[in-house]
Amino acid sequence: MSPDSALAAVILGAVQGVTEWIPVSSDGAIATTSRYLFGSSLSEGVRMAFWLHLGTALAATIYFRSAIWRLLRELVSRRGRLTPEMWFLGLATVVGGLVALPLLVYLDQFSAALGGSAMFLVGIMLIATGLVQLRRREPGTRDRTQVTTVDGVMVGIAQGLSALPGLSRSAGTIGVMLARRISGGEALSLSFLMSIPASVAAALYAGIDGGLFVSGSALLGVAVAAAVGLVTLRLLLAAATRINFGKFVLIAGVAVILAAFFEWVV
């Protein structure tokens, strides 16, 4: 089956829509699916994964439209003076971009062994974070009005590293925020909100680099990713109050380590 076919676009768009929000790497899932179902190379699969982020960015924009509008109103009313939330989101986006850019430029030069090693280390850190969360009697209580510069830098680094296939953006950013004692519900919302500019930037990079703006199947994939992503995002955030975030991050760590072993073996 051709990676440019309509069926491939539907399948890959659905995979992106589901995996963007859960603690697995959507880029890794798309790259793996593209490779084994459609015969794509790693760079082709990752480029398509970045492009499909446009769909889930649209889904997040629709879901968080009230929050985005609130941030814009506050920015205007405060005459450019940033709230802690604005500073956090902006800083995390800039830091994430600075970390991700060299990884994107030299993606083809990263060996599977190097990628697997990075994934293994991240998995260990996520497991450690999950165990700490499970042992804490009191969950994190900090909200978006209490985020700091250190939070923004650390979360930005986690987001930037997710440019490597196999590293989950949501697991990494949520894990860092939980470790910084930000509440679970706020960590989810902030992680998904900050994914919007990063996802749009990744999609623009892939669209320009791969000429995907004029591909009908690529645009179909974006539409499917947006529709599926909006449904799964609503379901996940509706269940946020019932999520055990210690287990959430622990499972993410195990998944990342298994993916690392897969990279080493395959």
Q: What percent of the chain has pLDDT over 90?
A: 26
pLDDT at 88: 94
Tell me the pLDDT of the chain averaged across its residues. Answer: 81
Q: Which residues contact 44 (CB under 8 A, 6 or more apart)?
A: 3, 34, 210
Start-end of H helices in 106-135 = 112-135
Residue 208 CA, chain-centre distance (Å), reads: 21
Full DSSP string of 12-38 = HHHHHHHHTTTTS-HHHHHHHHHHHHH
Digit-coded pLDDT (tens) for 198-248: 889 888 887 777 666 667 888 899 999 999 999 999 988 887 667 676 777
Identify the DSSP state of 212: G
Q: Which residues contact 135 (CB under 8 A, 6 or more apart)?
A: none
- Amino acid at position 195, single letter: S
47: confidence class by pLDDT, cuts 50, 70, 90: confident
Q: Residue 239 CB: number of other CB atoms within 10 A?
A: 10
Judge whether residue 1 has pLDDT over 50.
no
Residues 99-115, mean pLDDT to the nearest whole number: 66
139: confidence class by pLDDT, cuts 50, 70, 90: low
pLDDT at 136: 61
Digit-coded pLDDT (tens) for 140-196: 678 888 999 999 999 999 998 877 766 778 878 888 898 888 988 888 889 999 989
Domain boundaries, the chain: 6-265
- Bridge partners, 142 (sequence order): 182
Q: Which two tokens stand for residue 265?
A: 């073996």
pLDDT at 147: 92
pLDDT at 90: 93
pLDDT at 32: 75
